[in-house]
Amino acid sequence: MPLSELYGRQVLFFGTYGALTAFNAGAAGSKNIQTLLVLRFFADAFGSSPLTNAGGVIADMFAAKQRGLAMSVFAAAPFMGPTLGPIVGEFLGEAKGWRWVEGLMAIFTGAVWIIGALTIPETYTPVLLRKRAAELSRATGKVYLSKHEAIHGTPTLGASFKVALSRPGFFSSANRSSSFSRSTWPSSMEPFI
C-alpha cells in the first residue's frame, strides 16, 4: 500500500483499473499464447490493487464499530468471481470462443473503471489534508502543512517502500519462539513459495 499512502487511493484505483482494462483488451486481441500469457500476467498484477487497497478504503470510511459488517460484505465479493466466472466463461467460451471471454472481462473492467472514476472519492485522510494544505498555500501565498505532515514530515517513495517491505520480516521474527516452530516456518518461507 505505499503508493496509496503517497498519492491517495483514488489515483491508485484509477490507474490500476485503467491498466487492467488495457491488458484485458490486449489479451482479447492477442495473436499467440505467449502474448496472451504476458498480458494476462500484467492484467492480474494490476487487477490485484482493488483487493489489496479495499481494506484501507473501508477503514477510512467506516468507524471501528461499523467496520466488521463492511468488511464482511466486501469479503463476500471476491468469492463471487470464482463462483460465477467459470459458469459465465464456459457458456460464453462455448458459444463465441475464448476471445469473447477476454473481451467480456475488458468490457466489465472498463465499465468499473469509468464508474469508479466518476464515483470513488479520495478517502485517505493524510492525502486529503496534504491536498487541502497545498490548496490553501496556493490561494493565500502562505505555506501550510497538514498536522500529520508537520509531525511526520513529507513522505517519500523510498521511505514508504522501506517500511512496507520491512513489516513482514519484523512480524515474522517478532513471533518466533526459541525453537523453530511449525507456525513460524511457513511465514518465514512465504517470500520463497
94 Cβ contact list (under 8 Å, min separation 6) = none
List the domain boundaries for the chain: 2-119, 125-176+185-189
29-78 pLDDT, tens per residue?
999 999 999 999 999 999 988 888 888 888 888 988 888 888 888 888 77
130-162 pLDDT, tens per residue?
889 889 899 998 888 888 788 877 778 888 778
DSSP string for residues in 125-182:
HHHHHHHHHHHHHHHHSS----HHHHHH----HHHHHHHHHHHHHHHHHHT--SS--T
Query: Regarding predicted confidence, which is higher, 80 or 14?
Result: 14
Cα–Cα separations (whole angstroms), residue 132 to 152, 161, 174: 17, 25, 38
Q: How high is the pLDDT of residue 171?
A: 61
Q: How high is the pLDDT of residue 106?
A: 95
**Nearest in space to 47 (alpha carbons), one of 72, 30, 22:** 22
Q: How many CB atoms lie within 10 A of CB 193?
A: 5
Q: How many CB atoms lie within 10 A of CB 118?
A: 7
Q: How high is the pLDDT of residue 178?
A: 46
20 Cβ contact list (under 8 Å, min separation 6) = 43, 46, 47, 49, 109, 113
27-36 pLDDT, tens per residue?
999 999 999 9
Confidence of residue 174 (pLDDT cuts 50, 70, 90): low
118 Cβ contact list (under 8 Å, min separation 6) = none
Tell me the average pLDDT across 97-121: 93
